[in-house]
Amino acid sequence: MEETSFISRQDNLLKSIDEGIVIIPGAGLKQKSHDTEFPFRQNSDFKYFTGFNEPDATLVLKKTIEGEVERHLFLQEKNPEMEMWTGIRLGSEKAPEVLPIDSAYPNHEFTRRLPDLFKGHKNLYYNLFNHDLQSKVTKALKSLGGKRKEKYFTPLHWHHLSPLIGMLRLRKDQNEILAMKQAAELSDIGHRAAMALAAPGVNEKEIDQLLSYLFAQENGEGPAYDSIVAGGTNALILHYIANNQNLKDGDLLLIDAGAQVNTYASDVTRTFPVNGVFSPAQKDLYQVVLNSQKVAMGHMKIGATLKEIHTSTCQILLKSLIEADILKGSFEELWEKDAYRAYYPHGTGHWLGLDVHDQSPYLDNQLEELTLDEGMVFTCEPGLYLPVGDASVPSKWQGMGIRIEDDILITQSGPENLTRSIPKEVKEIEEACKEDIKTILSKLSSPSLLS
Ligand code: GLY
Ligand code: MN
Ligand code: MN
């Protein structure tokens, strides 16, 4: 584990506070049905500061006004009987050797130790919306309240921690960028394979499963979010995840799917013809969306804001909708009414990182839009969704949903499209659709599907 990087992330957080105690709980297991749980997913903030992937752990950082720092971890205690059922636990004895902390204790000591950890601090930082932690914090503080003879400060000033962490997570370091590039590479393999496999009669489910399989190759951890495999009009449902319909000749297929590596997400959408060749109507509409994405990319530079990028994308899409006679009226009047929203209802991009919708702020302390800077990663995902039965939409376009989504890293020398290798131009897509799925799978380091 790269301890220094986690320590420096903790130090960066502590730099933003004068003194205090910081509590960052990891995730627990979530019940799926009686006696079974969902696959474990670590809390992103906890992962960011520790790299530790066990459930039910809590990081406690302390900083005195003199700048002395302590790093404590509470975690599951070793328990051979339980480990036989659910897997090996690191345990409190070993934890300080391999994790970026000074001391570790079993979870059952949390309630007892918390009051002592609190003593002497004035400030407490944690996620104020975590009610479970809040009740433990309150109990610990109450237990300190009644001792009149003892003289020490207690942390009665509570601060919401999430925005501080969100600001840190906004700029990715080299380790994070590496993980995101690896995730992008797996997404490339997945989307190419989907283009090769898709054909009339193939079920969305088969493509969904193929994506999951490919996203778990090498160091991949599977899909970063539920894949959207939406043939035909299913693409009009923005978060369609049923993925269980047969693909139809003449339809488009929208796939929004990205691999996860070391808990870092990629988030990619491609839209292509099920039969491998764009019809003239599909090509025209596809080019409109692709063009809007290129315009958006032209605005991506240090100092720009995601809002500016969104505005320029909406403007170009609105112009195209007017040119296509779908929206009728002057640009100014339709812009004033947000008329494009009927066909482009979502944003053009969001922060990307440990969370697919990364939990970083969009506004600064002055409520100004945050400006793009080196190391920030976000998506660029314009789309158009033209409903069936909308009399303003020519029938050749009704029922089409097109989105194109890439992941962008801001660098000193401009935007770097991390997912640029995934076919996107009409010609590239039609070529990729002609590929043989067996050839793609045979190039994998472990082509077990073929054996
Ligand atoms: N995959 C979710 C999104 O594009 O925001
Ligand atoms: Mn996205
Ligand atoms: Mn997406």
Q: Which atom of ligand 1 is nearest to the CA of 228?
A: 1
Q: Which atom of ligand 1 is nearest to the CA of 357?
A: 5
Integer Cα distance of 351 and 361 in angstroms: 9
Q: What single string gives the DSSP state of each residue in 424-450?
A: -SHHHHHHHHHS-HHHHHHTSSS-GGG
CA quadruple 347, 204, 236, 426: dihedral sign? positive
**What is the structure's pLDDT at 108?**
97
**What is the structure's pLDDT at 450?**
52
Listed residue (227, 226, 224, 219) closest to 178, CA to CA: 219
Whether 327 is in the pocket of ligand 1, judged by its Cβ within 6 Å, is: no
**What is the structure's pLDDT at 370?**
97
**What is the structure's pLDDT at 165?**
97
Contacts of residue 7, defined as CB under 8 A and 6 or more positions apart, other chains included, come to 71, 100
Task: Exactly one of 34, 131, 148, 239 is catalytic; name it.
Answer: 239
How far separated are the first and last CA of the chain, in Å rounded? Answer: 35
What's the CA-to-centroid distance between 137 and ligand 1, angstroms? 35
Radius of gyration for the chain, computed over Cα atoms and rounded to the nearest angstrom: 25
Q: Are 321 and 343 in contact (CB under 8 A)?
A: yes
Residue owning the nearest CA to atom 4 of ligand 1: 267
Tally of CB atoms within 10 A around 274: 21
pLDDT digit string, tens, across residues 246-294: 999 999 999 999 999 999 999 999 999 999 999 999 999 999 999 999 9
Task: Exactly one of 159, 284, 346, 435 is catalytic; name it.
Answer: 346
Q: Which CATH number fits domain 174-441: 3.30.565.10, 3.40.718.10, 3.30.70.120, 3.90.230.10?
A: 3.90.230.10
Positions of CATH 3.90.230.10 in the chain: 174-441
Positions of CATH 3.40.350.10 in the chain: 3-169
451 residues of the chain, pLDDT tens digit each: 444 599 999 999 999 999 999 999 999 999 999 999 999 999 999 999 999 999 999 999 999 999 999 999 999 999 999 999 999 999 999 999 999 999 999 999 999 999 999 999 999 999 999 999 999 999 999 998 766 677 889 999 999 999 999 999 999 999 999 999 999 999 999 999 999 999 999 999 999 999 999 999 999 999 999 999 999 999 999 999 999 999 999 999 999 999 999 999 999 999 999 999 999 999 999 999 999 999 999 999 999 999 999 999 999 999 999 999 999 999 999 999 999 999 999 999 999 999 999 999 999 989 999 999 999 999 999 999 999 999 999 999 999 999 999 999 999 999 999 999 999 999 999 999 999 999 999 988 765 655 5
**What is the structure's pLDDT at 1?**
44
CATH fold of 3-169? Creatine Amidinohydrolase; Chain A, domain 1 (3.40.350)
**What is the structure's pLDDT at 151?**
83
Integer Cα distance of 74 and 58 in angstroms: 5
**What is the structure's pLDDT at 150?**
75
Ligand closest to Cα of 380 equals 2
* Substitution site in 225, 358, 385 for ligand 1 pocket (most atoms within 8 Å of beta carbon): 225
Whether 406 is in the pocket of ligand 1, judged by its Cβ within 6 Å, is: no
Q: Are 212 and 227 in contact (CB under 8 A)?
A: yes
Tally of CB atoms within 10 A around 136: 18
Whether 407 is in the pocket of ligand 1, judged by its Cβ within 6 Å, is: no
Beta-bridge partner residues of 62? 21, 70
Q: Which atom of ligand 1 is nearest to the CA of 350?
A: 5
